[in-house]
Amino acid sequence: MKNQSKHFTILALLLTLSLALSACVAVAPADGGMADGDGMEKEGGYVVGVSNTLVGNGWREQMICAIKAEATASGLVDSVIVVNRNGGPTEQIADLEGLISQGVDAIVLNPTDREGLNAVIESAIAQGIVVVAVDQAVTAEGAYVATNDQTAYAQLGAEWLFEQLGGSGKVVEMRGIDGVPADTDRHNGFMAALENYPDIEVVASTFTGWDPSTGAQQALDLITTQEIDGIWTSGIDYPVVEQFQVADVDYVPIVGADNNGFVEQLINLAGDGLIGAAVTNPPAIGAVGMSIALDALTGNNPPHETILTPKVFTTADIDGLNGIYAPDEQVGWSTYVDIEPYTNYNGSADVSACKAPGE
């Protein structure tokens, strides 16, 4: 009996030890990080989704190419799934749901609404997907945001314009897409500048949809039917300059973005009377978003908000304009693509190649 009791005691101890070891089997991290067979965070092999809802716009095209270039340069991404179509919040929600269902590790999106996408974004985050909004902000809890300072973009450009006019004159505000975060922020910046110049009159405010052909037609209608002393544009700039040539009327001071075509006009037409300012708004913010997503996936804990400060290049500094001009670049693209410390690709060459891993 004594030996039998001893055997039962040993068996009980072994069973207890076995249960304890079973409880130590590795599980996925509680913070949503990916785990491999050793219980460590996955270091590479990621699939990243991209959601864009404005097609036919050079800025957005370059944004996507910068995302692809950074994904390739990182060596951590296996594939980039781009969902690219014209649409609003409803269409983008459907696109984001589709990316979630495909099992992506991260999503980089240019949002159509500051709050309207929150539910689907928060659903993605709850499933362990890293979400980064670029160019425009969202308020979803847990989302990362990487933007150019859109309020400052407008305010700096508008202040330059109002100063060029001596604080008095009739101006046009050519906006982007009604209701999207970047347009709202830029309008707020424009209005903040306007508060300090009571003798500036806004004779027209249009929505170009950030579409070059739409902006061109609006500009032609305005300069041939109204007295205008200056034009502020939300990035539809070089088509506006072209309409002065079409209408054969004298240029007025124009504010635009660092689009290569506009920068070229400021350089080459300064002798013909064109005065203007190019405010930086680099599409490479997409690459910044990719870099932040990879930092989050690899446990580097990036800040949840990253804001780039714009710079202003004017016809008073032709050397500065020459520094951001690239003769072989597309007219609607920016050459301001290297953004330290986020980008790791080889400048404009890699961005222009527009190749994601495996493409």
Strands (E), 36-191: 46-52, 77-84, 106-109, 130-134, 144-148, 169-175
Backbone φ and ψ of 52, nearest 5°: -130, 140
Helix (H, G, I), strand (E, B) or coil at 258: coil
163 and 236 part of one domain = yes
Domain membership flag for residue 359: no
Domain containing residue 68: CATH number? 3.40.50.2300
Domain membership flag for residue 53: yes
pLDDT in tens, the chain (359 residues): 444 443 433 334 333 434 333 333 333 333 333 333 333 356 789 999 999 999 988 999 999 999 999 999 999 999 999 999 999 999 999 999 999 999 999 999 999 999 999 999 999 999 999 999 999 999 999 999 999 999 999 999 999 999 999 999 999 999 999 999 999 999 999 999 999 999 999 999 999 999 999 999 999 999 999 999 999 999 999 999 999 999 999 999 999 999 999 999 999 999 999 999 999 999 999 999 999 999 999 999 999 999 999 999 999 999 999 999 988 888 999 988 999 999 999 999 999 999 999 99
Domain membership flag for residue 5: no
pTM above 0.85, yes or no: no
Domain membership flag for residue 183: yes
Domain membership flag for residue 38: no
Domain of 101 in residue numbering reads as 46-148+283-308+332-352
169 and 272 part of one domain = yes
Domain membership flag for residue 36: no
219 and 287 part of one domain = no
139 and 288 part of one domain = yes
Backbone φ and ψ of 206, nearest 5°: -120, 160
Q: What letters, b where the CB count within 10 A reaches 16 and e where it falls short, cover 329-342? A: beebbbbbbbbeeb
Backbone φ and ψ of 130, nearest 5°: -80, 130
Q: Do the beta carbons of residue 146 and residue 66 sit within 8 Å? A: no
Distance CA 174, CA 217 (A): 12
Cis peptide before 341 (omega within 30 of 0): yes
- According to the model, what pLDDT value does residue 32 have? 37
For residues 84, 87, 93, 98, the Cα torsion angle rounded to the nearest 10 degrees is: -30
